[in-house]
Amino acid sequence: MSYRLSKNINLETPNLGEAVQFYHEVLGLRIAEMGKDWARFDTGDISLFITEGNSLGPITEFIVADLHKAKNDLLEKGCTVMTWEGKGKPCYIRDPFGFVFNLWEA
């Protein structure tokens, strides 16, 4: 199984409006897109997403060729599923060390 780190980082917060305001006004990041429950900031090298949800810490993302094969591979290696909404949606995995990342099928 091959995993490639994407250029997306997600931060989840129950206070989306306040977080977007902070990252835009205080840290000076430009809002590139905004949806009902998310915002994307264009930072040049990476896309920083802030989404409404539970605070899980920074969520990195790995791109895979086969979402379900990657899921099974990671479960066999001690990972657990946090959220699994399917292709094109959040598929959060917690590794054996407590870190959470998203899987994204290319």
| % of the chain at pLDDT higher than 90 | 90
- Please give the pLDDT value at position 42: 87
Domains contained in the chain, CATH given: 4-105 (3.10.180.10)
1 — pLDDT class (breaks 50, 70, 90): confident
Closest-CA residue to 102 (of 79, 75, 83, 77): 83
Mean pLDDT, residues 40-52: 93
Residue 61 CA: distances (Å) to CA of 27, 28, 64, 104: 23, 24, 10, 7
